[in-house]
Structure 1
Amino acid sequence: MAAKLLILLFFSFPFLLQFRFSAGQTPVRAAYWAADSQYPVSSIDSTLFTHLFCAFADLNTQTNRVTVASANQARFSSFTSTVQSKNPNVKTLLSIGGGNSPPAAFAAMASQASSRKSFIDSSISLARSYNFHGLDLDWEYPSSQTEMTSFGSLLTEWRTALNNESTVTGKPKLLLSAALFRNSDYYTVLYPITAIRNSLDWINVMAYDFYGPGWSTVTGPPAALYNPGTQVSGDYGIRSWIQSGIPANKLALGFPFYGYAWTLVNPNNNGLFAPSSGAAITPQGDVSYGQIRAFIAQNGPSEVYNATVVSNYCYKNTTWIGYDDTQSIKAKVIYVKQNALLGYFAWHVGADDNWTLSKTASQTWGS
Structure 2
Amino acid sequence: MASKTPVYAFLICVLQFLHLCAAQNVKGGYWFPDSGIAASDIDSTLFTHLFCAFSDLNSNTNQVVISSANAAQFSQFTNTVQIKNPSVKTLLSIGGGASSYNFHGLDLDYEYPLSANDMVNLGTLLDEWRVAAAAEAQASGKQRILLTAAVSVGPSVDGLRYPIQSISRSLDWINVMAYDFYGPPWAPSMTNAHAALYDPSGRVSASSGISSWIQAGVSANKLVLGLPFYGYSWQLANANNHGLMAPANGAPGGSGDGSKGYNQILDFIANNNAPKVYNSTIVADYCYSGTTWIGYDDKQSISTKVPYAKQKGLLGYFAWHVAADANWALSQQAKQAWGA
By the TM > 0.5 criterion, same fold?
yes
Of 51, 54, 57 in structure 2, the residue corresponding to residue 53 of structure 1 is 51
Asked whether 1:357 is paired with 2:326, we answer no
Cα distance in structure 1, aligned partners of 2:305 and 2:53: 24
Cα distance in structure 2, aligned partners of 1:41 and 1:302: 33
> How far apart are 1:144 and its partner, in Å?
1.5
Asked whether 1:339 is paired with 2:315, we answer no
SS at match of 1:249: helix
- Residue in 2 aligned with 1:239? 211
- Residue in 2 aligned with 1:172? 143
Cα distance in structure 1, aligned partners of 2:301 and 2:115: 34
Cα distance in structure 1, aligned partners of 2:36 and 2:309: 30
- Residue in 2 aligned with 1:151? 122
Q: State how 1:205-244 maps to structure 2 within 5 Å.
A: 205-216=176-187, 217-244=189-216
Unaligned runs of 5+ in 2: 1-21
Matched to 1:296, the amino acid is: I
Q: What percent of counterpart residues are identical?
A: 58
Unaligned runs of 5+ in 1: 1-23, 102-122
- Residue in 1 aligned with 2:7? none
- Residue in 2 aligned with 1:318? 291
Cα distance in structure 2, aligned partners of 1:54 and 1:231: 32
- Residue in 2 aligned with 1:63? 61
SS at match of 2:225: strand
Which structure has more relative contact order (CA 8 Å, sep 6+)? It is 2
Asked whether 1:84 is paired with 2:82, we answer yes
- Residue in 1 aligned with 2:267? 294
TM-score with structure 2 length normalisation? Answer: 0.91
Matched to 1:301, the amino acid is: A
> How far apart are 1:143 and its partner, in Å?
2.2
Q: Higher helix fraction: Structure 1 or Structure 2? A: 1
Cα distance in structure 1, aligned partners of 2:216 and 2:34: 35
SS at match of 2:72: helix
Asked whether 1:40 is paired with 2:12, we answer no
Q: State how 1:266-305 maps to structure 2 within 5 Å.
A: 266-280=238-252, 282-305=255-278
SS at match of 1:298: helix
Of 141, 161, 164 in structure 2, the residue corresponding to residue 193 of structure 1 is 164
> How far apart are 1:25 and its partner, in Å?
4.3
SS at match of 1:277: coil
> How far apart are 1:261 and its partner, in Å?
0.4
Cα distance in structure 1, aligned partners of 2:312 and 2:130: 27
Matched to 2:82, the amino acid is: Q
Cα distance in structure 2, aligned partners of 1:292 and 1:80: 30
Cα distance in structure 2, aligned partners of 1:36 and 1:42: 14
Cα distance in structure 2, aligned partners of 1:344 and 1:303: 25
For these two proteins, the number of residue pairs brought into alignment is: 317
Cα distance in structure 1, aligned partners of 2:292 and 2:160: 36
Matched to 1:366, the amino acid is: G
Q: Deviations over 1:41-89 (max 9, x none)?
A: 0000000000000000012233121111100001000000000000010
Cα distance in structure 2, aligned partners of 1:50 and 1:231: 32
Cα distance in structure 1, aligned partners of 2:55 and 2:202: 35
From the superposition, tell whether residues 38 and 68 of structure 1 become closer, same or farther in structure 2 (CA, over 3 Å): farther
SS at match of 2:260: strand
Asked whether 1:203 is paired with 2:174, we answer yes
Asked whether 1:163 is paired with 2:134, we answer yes
Matched to 2:205, the amino acid is: S
Q: Deviations over 1:83-125 (max 9, x none)?
A: 000001000000001xxx4xxxxxxxxxxxxxxxxxxxxx3xx
Over 4 Å off, 4+ runs: none
Cα distance in structure 1, aligned partners of 2:114 and 2:56: 20
SS at match of 1:278: coil
SS at match of 2:106: strand
> How far apart are 1:268 and its partner, in Å?
1.2
> How far apart are 1:187 and its partner, in Å?
2.0
Cα distance in structure 2, aligned partners of 1:156 and 1:25: 20
From the superposition, tell whether residues 78 and 25 of structure 1 become closer, same or farther in structure 2 (CA, over 3 Å): closer
Cα distance in structure 1, aligned partners of 2:131 and 2:84: 33
Higher mean C-alpha displacement, 62-71 vs 195-204:
62-71
Cα distance in structure 1, aligned partners of 2:73 and 2:23: 30
Matched to 1:210, the amino acid is: F
CA RMSD of aligned residues (A): 1.1
